[in-house]
Structure 1
Amino acid sequence: MVNILIRVAAFIWMFREIFNRIMRIIFLISLAFFLKSCVRDMTPAKKILKSMKVGKAEVEWFSFSSAYADVPDCITIKKGKWIDTICRSNNIADLQDLGNNEVLIGFYGRPNRYGKLIELNQSISGITIVVDTAYANRAKSVY
């Protein structure tokens, strides 16, 4: 009888230790979720400026808006699961579908990113890229 009581007490002790470990893990996971919810997400939101279907592909112009930095706009092309970046630039003015698998990208002056000139491919995935640098600068049109 004493042997059975010792085994039952050992089982209860072991169960209590396992229960305490599980409760600590649950507490730490809950604490991590609580702290994560208290901190604001610092990733900038993706703002789609223009999206269009060109042939079998989708061309999208978007920016990651940020109150703290000047982030360049981005133009991507998506064909099925394949995604490629056409350009990243600080001075994109417009995006137009010209038909016949041609896309016009308008810039305020020469295409640049952070003041350095960039070169664009003339064709990506069967879509011809036409560059127009004749758009008036926003800053000049305000005054």
Structure 2
Amino acid sequence: MRKIILALLSIFVISCVPKFEPNKKEDRLYFKEIKSGNMLLQWFYYSSAVSESPEYIVLNKNNKEDTIVVSTNIADINLDRDSMKISFYGKPTRYNESTKVTLKNYPIKLDTTVVSDGPKYRKTYKKPDR
């Protein structure tokens, strides 16, 4: 009986230890993708067991990937021919700490006036494996 309890306890402890692997593209859950010419703007997060995972906005242009922002309060993204608009619930933050929005050679408009009216279900999708 003691061996069974130790075995079950060991399995429980091992299953609680997080994987320390880098995030992979196949683990991404997407909120939105916008394609314009040779640019692809992606808004996604990595699936995890925690209740609040940071969200990423990444711009793919000319086969180069540039992370624009990692935040926990993104409301929406839009892409025009001449600029990108990122909306936030207040100032851009990541777990209550300020975060920077950066992208060289492309204008970004930040909208920090979006007001949350409570938790919302946001539909996500996963890309099929290629």
CA distance in 2 between partners of 1:65 and 1:120 (Å): 22
Distance in 2, Cα, partners of 1:54 & 1:87: 19
Q: Which residue of 2 aligns with 1:101?
A: 82
Indicate which of 80, 83, 107 corresponds to 1:128. Answer: 107
The SS at the match of 2:118 is helix
Name the TM-score, length of structure 2 as normaliser: 0.65
Over 3 Å counting, the alpha-carbon distance change for 1:55 and 1:138 in structure 2 is: farther
* SS state at 1:83 partner: strand
Question: Unaligned 5+ residue runs, structure 1?
Answer: 1-38
Structure 1 runs, 4 residues or longer, greater than 6 Å off: none
Q: Which fold has the larger relative contact order, with Cα–Cα distance below 8 Å and residues 6 or more apart in sequence?
A: 2
Give deviations 1:75-98, integer Å, cap 9, x for gaps. Answer: 00111221110000000000012x
Give deviations 1:36-81, integer Å, cap 9, x for gaps: xxx9xx6773111111123421110011122235210000011122
- The structure with the largest helix share of the pair is 1
Aligned partner of 1:66 in structure 2 is: 48
State the number of aligned residues.
Answer: 99
Counterparts in 2 of 1:140 and 1:58: CA distance versus 1, 3 Å: closer
RMSD value over aligned CA atoms?
2.6
Aligned with 1:114 (options 90, 95, 99): 95
Q: Which has the larger radius of gyration?
A: 1
Identity %: 30
5+ residue gaps, structure 2, are 1-14, 121-130
TM-score normalised by L of structure 1:
0.60
